[in-house]
Homo-oligomer: A and B are copies of this chain.
Amino acid sequence: MTHASTDSLLAALRWRYATKLFDPARKIPADVWDAIEESMVLTPSSFGLQPWRFLVIEDPALRAKLRTESWNQPQVTDASHYVVLTARTDLTEKDIDTWIHCLADAQGREPDAIAPLRGMIAGFAETMSCEDRHQWNKRQVYIALGQVMAAAAVLGIDACPMEGISAGGYDRLLGLEGSGYATAVGCALGYRSGEDKYATIPKARFPREQVVRHL
């Protein structure tokens, strides 16, 4: 397999920025979008549990409503694609069983053969309150957010993580209440507009020697 060079990776990560204005006329080609979805599906998660669903909002009317729950930020309606990343609100025995069956299937084994793993996950889940489990799931979803933003950058696709949203408002509009999933964060993907002044502002990061320490 050919790997990316360090230069091309860093060029992509420096090229990306939180795109504020998307070009509403430019759509991500289907094959590229397919790869972006697949990159989300491939996201690593603790124990492999994948406590998430990714909602791709295609209906323009629904996107307009979500925008009203997003401080009216235009990314919600104007980006080529808009994804709402949701987290499981709990981590139940049933969730664990579903995962154990999926894992056993992939490995061509009986679920009973991986019962020790099941016990380990269940023991871990028991140490937390329901609210803690939801928080834990939300952190897993942020791995997906990191992976999809990095994947998009590498593919030359612009993205904007959307935290300035009303999760409760989204849940209502998306019919998530009582579903076992709740909105964690949004992500708009597409192509920057030539009008986005943020595209040319220098990227600001703390100096590396402050952020990375060697012990």
Do B143 and A204 have beta carbons less than 8 Å apart? no
Pair A161/B215 contact, Cβ less than 8 Å: no
Size of interface on A: residues with Cβ below 8 Å to B: 76
CB distance from A45 to the nearest CB of B (A): 9
Contacts of A32 in B (CB 8 A): 6
Q: Which residue of B is nearest A104, CB measured?
A: B204
**Given that A144-B146, A212-B41 are contacting pairs, would A1 and B11 also be in contact in the complex, using a CB cutoff of 8 Å?**
yes
A97 interfacial contact with B, CB 8 Å: no
- B44 near A18 with CB under 8 A, answer yes
> Are B150 and A211 in contact, with the CB atoms below 8 A?
no
Contact: A213 with B4, CB < 8 Å? no
CB pair B107 A204 closer than 8 Å: yes
Task: Give chain A's interface residues, CB within 8 Å of chain B.
Answer: 1-4, 6, 8-16, 18, 31-32, 34-35, 37-44, 46, 48, 50, 52-59, 62, 102-103, 105-107, 135, 138-140, 142-147, 149-151, 154-156, 161, 163, 174, 201-206, 208, 210-215
